[in-house]
Structure 1
Amino acid sequence: MEFIRPGCWEEALAAKAEHPAAVPLAGGTDVMVEINLGRRRPGHLLDLSRIGELSEWEVGEREVRLGAGVPYARIVAELGRELPGLALASRAVASPQIRNRGGVGGNLGTASPAGDAHPALLAAGAEVEVESVRGARRIPIDAFYTGVKRNALLPDELIRRVHIGRATGPQQFSKVGTRNAMVIAVCSFGLALHPGTGTVRTGIGSAAPTPRRAAEAEAFLADALAEGGLWESRGPVPPSVAKRFAALAAGACSPIDDVRGTAGHRRHAVGVMARRTFLWAWEAYRKDAEGVA
């Protein structure tokens, strides 16, 4: 195994062009586990830890440009206001040690359905900026996941940053695991309310071959809120609306049985999380109108 350690982004792209099968290494929280367990033995490891810009972020007027290597701990500590859904998901990642090393770029590169960042990124409508020596492009998050642990990256591309719209309404994240900490998600759910456009977005993790949205549930809820005049009035939501939203979200799943949980349990849990995260978010939306922090 050859270890490549570029000193800048341009050197990293050149190395990836020369060795397309090279495995990027940043926090190492996924890659090193697989290597240590003998599940993976790449010919080249491409260490990106010396590229400082990957660990930087910038808040613009409408979006946050988040470097692929910004650790989860910094997202929790510094971006909770701009990216509340992703901050909640980041808080749920493993242990403090892992949160100080791992970042969103690694989650995206691994593309595991159980990655904690995926539901929040889907709910926020993020875009993934990737680059090679041929140029850069931005991939909408909806098109990024292509299969079980597969993504839309071409062999010579690296993830540079993620573009995430600043929250314009409440966001939530929930995760079910076999214990309260240090656990891979049995399933997870992210939700974002976008009052300015009268839309709802969701993200489901670990309940399908890829992270996915519950599109039918989103459309139903947005229409129900609009038809009831609730976006403007911020009034209470009829229980029947929350119940139907939960059922549609559960129906968007295509889970399997595995060592962490059954398909039936996952489907039920997604429905419960969908209802709860929506009600939590809606309560925050109502309180915001009253000037309550």
Structure 2
Amino acid sequence: MEFLRPASWEEALAAKAEHPSAVPIAGGTDVMVEINFDHRRPTHLMDLNRVHELHEWEIGDETVRLGASVPYSKIIDELAHELPGLALASHTVGSPQIRNRGSVGGNLGAASPAGDSHPALLAAGAEVEAESVRGTRFIPVEDFYTGVKRNALAEDELIKRVHIKKADGPQQFSKVGTRNAMVIAVCAFGIALHPETRTVRAGIGSAAPTPLRARTAEDFLGAALEEGGLWDSGRTIPPSVAREFAELCSGACNPIDDVRGSAAYRRRAVGVMARRTLGWVWESYRATGNGRTTEGGAQCA
């Protein structure tokens, strides 16, 4: 196994073009586990820790440009206001040591259906900035996952940044595991309200071959909120609407039975998480004054 250690982004792209099979490594929280268990034996490893651009982030008017190697701990500490759903998901990643090394870029590169960042990225709305010596392209995150642990990157491409829309409304994340900490998700769910466009986005993890959006559920809930005047009034969402949303989210799943949980359990759990997280984000929406009035007609702050 040959070890490559580029000192700049340009060197990294050149090395990837010369050695397309080179596996990039920064935190190593996924790659090194596979190598240590002899599940993977690449011919080349490419250490990206000296590429400073990958460790930087920038808050723009509409998006956060997140370097591929920015660790989860920085998202929790520095970006919880702009990216609340991703910050909540980051809290559930492994141990403090893993959160100090692991990154969203690494999670995307691994493309595991159980990756903790995926539901939050799908719910918030994100694009992956991929680059090679041939140029740059932007891939919507919902198009990035192409199969179990497979992604849309070409052989000579590397992830440079992830462009994530800043929250314009409440966001939530929920995860089910076999214990409360340091666990791979049995299934996970992220939801984001987007009051500016009066839309809802919902992301599901570990309940299909790839992370996915529950598009039918999103469309149903967005229409129900609009038709019921709830975006403006801030009234409580009717239980029948919440139940239908949960059932549609459950129906979007295509899970398998494995050692962590059965397909039936995953479908059931996604529905429960969808209903609960919807309740949490809607209460936040009402409490923060996004709706003009509360249930009793009082003015929101």
TM-score, scaled relative to structure 2: 0.96
Aligned to 1:217: 217
| Partner SS state of residue 159, structure 1 | strand
Superposed, 1:1-293 pairs within 5 Å as 1-289=1-289, 290-291=300-301
* 1:220-265: CA deviation from partner (whole Å, max 9, x where unpaired): 0000000000001111110110010000000000000000000000
Within 2, Cα distance between the matches of 1:38 and 1:189? 31
Aligned residues: 291
Within 2, Cα distance between the matches of 1:65 and 1:271? 32
Aligned partner of 2:61: which letter? E
Aligned partner of 1:244: which letter? E
| Partner SS state of residue 190, structure 1 | strand
| Partner SS state of residue 284, structure 2 | helix
Structure 1 residue 52: deviation in Å?
1.1
Within 2, Cα distance between the matches of 1:75 and 1:146? 26
Aligned partner of 2:222: which letter? A
Structure 1 residue 277: deviation in Å?
0.5
Aligned to 2:295: none
Within 1, Cα distance between the matches of 2:148 and 2:40? 16
* 1:6-38: CA deviation from partner (whole Å, max 9, x where unpaired): 000000000000000000001000000000000
| Partner SS state of residue 81, structure 1 | coil
* 1:138-161: CA deviation from partner (whole Å, max 9, x where unpaired): 001111000110000000000000
Within 2, Cα distance between the matches of 1:169 and 1:35? 41
Within 2, Cα distance between the matches of 1:59 and 1:193? 20
Within 1, Cα distance between the matches of 2:83 and 2:71? 14
Aligned partner of 1:263: which letter? A
Structure 1 residue 107: deviation in Å?
0.4
Structure 1 residue 42: deviation in Å?
0.2
| Partner SS state of residue 178, structure 1 | coil
Structure 1 residue 53: deviation in Å?
1.1
Structure 2 unmatched ranges of 5 or more: 290-299
Aligned identity (percent) is 73
Aligned partner of 2:26: which letter? A
- 4+ residue runs over 4 A deviation: none
Structure 1 residue 165: deviation in Å?
0.7
* 1:60-86: CA deviation from partner (whole Å, max 9, x where unpaired): 011100000000000001100000000
Within 2, Cα distance between the matches of 1:2 and 1:181? 35
| Partner SS state of residue 219, structure 1 | helix
| Partner SS state of residue 155, structure 2 | coil
Aligned partner of 2:8: which letter? C
Once superposed, what is the RMSD of the aligned Cα atoms?
Answer: 0.5
TM-score, scaled relative to structure 1: 0.99
Within 2, Cα distance between the matches of 1:211 and 1:36? 26
Within 2, Cα distance between the matches of 1:156 and 1:249? 36
* 1:157-177: CA deviation from partner (whole Å, max 9, x where unpaired): 000000001000000000000
Structure 1 unmatched ranges of 5 or more: none
